[in-house]
Amino acid sequence: MNRHVQFLLPFGSIGCSIFRLILFEGILYILKVAVSPPYFRFPSRPLLVTGGAGFIGTNFIIEWLKNSAATILNIDRLSYGNRCNVENIMESSKYFFAQCDIGDLEQIKALLAEHRPVAVINFAAETHVDRSIRSPENFVQTNVVGTLRFLEAIQSYFRALPDKEKDVFRFVHVSTDEVYGTLSLQEAPFEETSPFCPNSPYAASKAASDHFVRAFGQTFGLPVITTHCSNNFGPFQFPEKFIPLMIHNALKGKPLPIYGDGEQIRDWLYVTDHCSALCRVLEAGRIGETYNIGGNNELRNVDVVQVLCDILDRRKPLSHGSYRSQIEHVEDRPGHDRRYAVNSKKMLEELNWSAKETFFSGLTKTVDWYLSHWDWMEQITGSSFQEWTDYNYGNRTRAQA
């Protein structure tokens, strides 16, 4: 008789039940490891996140650390990201931070050798269309040259991995639906096979980075996956972007500037839905594939601002009147795309993912977060932010609504 079973016999049926339970749990663990994603199979090795002090990266890291035992290595040069975004998790034993430019080839190689990540999610990018119109070259340097150098470092690292680690390694590149260009009201949402037709320097720089990611997959065998998301919103978004800018200006008693007639349509995706989609892509996405990630919430810009004002009227009412009175239509920006929308059917059919938040539920959560984190807003809207908003909106003439 097996000596372990013999040891449990004096405890009778209880002992045997315990033994069966231990055996069952052991089998489950083995099966879980066998089919688990890469970050579980090597629990002592981190997931490398670039741009993790930015808006989406911050939310991804917070969600990851809440739901996974695996560690995170966050690389961010803090030009656009904000260290205070991740202050609450800085002391976590599962979190490591390195201030570094993704284009710094030698420092990236040193970090890869030190931490030996099991997978990469690349958020690092300059992302604001208005800023790209003012300074296109900055976007080329970060989004194109920086991504290329980062890919070179990752490819060198990947090539030296043992075969069993190569099998599970993934490079997930986070991109935008803006690479596809603009849609008319009658056209169907973009699919993964839609041709690229970028209309802003930002979109062009992201399209170029997407092409380099694909090229490294096709030419060098790097296991890459690219995602294209629609407009994100939620906590920690820098207030030069549309929704947090409106929240900031509304509560400061400033105009709420809407470009042109406000009829531009965007598909809105709550940021934690995006994070859950990226986890699914990392877990089960097919190498070499592209996945569109949308929220299925198409709204006109003017409608977004009006709904936002209505929520603020309930959450933090003015002494008289409505925040809607602060809405002001201003001169449109050059080359403003009329409509974005993506078809996320592939995410649903292959990865069983769909967005959970409606626009209204997500926007309510967003407003509540900014109201309860106003000190964060005050901290990051200093002189440089004021200079930017004065430059970008101060000289725009009023437009006919």
Q: Which residues are catalytic?
A: 177-178, 202
Q: List beta partners, residue 173.
A: 122, 226
Across the beta sheet with 290-293, the strand order is: 95-99, 72-76, 47-50, 119-122, 171-176, 224-229, 290-293
How far apart, in whole angstroms, are the C-alpha atoms of residue 309 and residue 161?
A: 53
Tell me phi and psi for residue 46, to 5 degrees: -85, 160
Residues with Cβ within 8 Å of 272's Cβ and at least 6 positions away in sequence, in order, are: 59, 63, 234, 357
How far apart, in whole angstroms, are the C-alpha atoms of residue 202 and residue 176?
A: 10
Q: Structure tokens of 35? A: 């089919």
Q: List beta partners, residue 314.
A: none
**3-class SS of residue 74:** strand
How far apart, in whole angstroms, are the C-alpha atoms of residue 123 and residue 177?
A: 14
How far apart, in whole angstroms, are the C-alpha atoms of residue 186 and residue 203?
A: 22
User: Crossing angle, helix 201-220 and helix 147-159, to 10 degrees?
Assistant: 20
- Full DSSP string of 168-234: T--EEEEEEGGGG----TTSPPB-TTSPP---SHHHHHHHHHHHHHHHHHHHH---EEEEEE-EEES
How far apart, in whole angstroms, are the C-alpha atoms of residue 133 and residue 364?
A: 31
Q: Structure tokens of 52? A: 């993790």
75: alpha, beta or left? (left if phi > 0; alpha if psi -120 to 50): beta
